Amino acid sequence: MLFFSYFKDLVGREVTVELKNDLAIRGTLHSVDQYLNIKLENTRVVDQDKYPHMLSVRNCFIRGSVVRYVLLPPEGVDIEILHDATRREARGG
């Protein structure tokens, strides 16, 4: 549940989600669930010319299983907290 909690903290931030089919979408993180499905708002596709069908999509739901990377804003990562949480999780707490 660590990454679920972690992504919940990132709600409202601007992220880029790169999918396994190489499509990269930038948008505001609206919500995330236990499967790490992601909902984005105000989306725009990074390589717009290559994906013309995505032009009129403003909000989208991305299935967690097709995500390759989530690129986060650098200020959205507090390494200290993440580090502690990881240790706590590893201990089973």
Contact residues: another protein, CB under 8 A: 19, 21, 23, 25, 30-35, 37-39, 43, 52-63, 65-66
> Given the complex with another protein, which of 57 and 85 has the nearer CB atom?
57
Q: Mention every residue, 6+ apart, whose C-beta is less than 8 A from residue 79.
A: none
Q: Mention every residue, 6+ apart, whose C-beta is less than 8 A from residue 71.
A: 15, 16, 17, 18
Asked if 53 and 20 count as a contact pair (C-beta separation under 8 A), the reply is no
> Given the complex with another protein, which of 21 and 90 has the nearer CB atom?
21
How far apart, in whole angstroms, are the C-alpha atoms of residue 18 and residue 22? 6
To another protein, the closest distance from the beta carbon of 31 in angstroms equals 4
> Given the complex with another protein, which of 15 and 38 has the nearer CB atom?
38
To another protein, the closest distance from the beta carbon of 70 in angstroms equals 14
How far apart, in whole angstroms, are the C-alpha atoms of residue 19 and residue 42? 17
To another protein, the closest distance from the beta carbon of 84 in angstroms equals 25
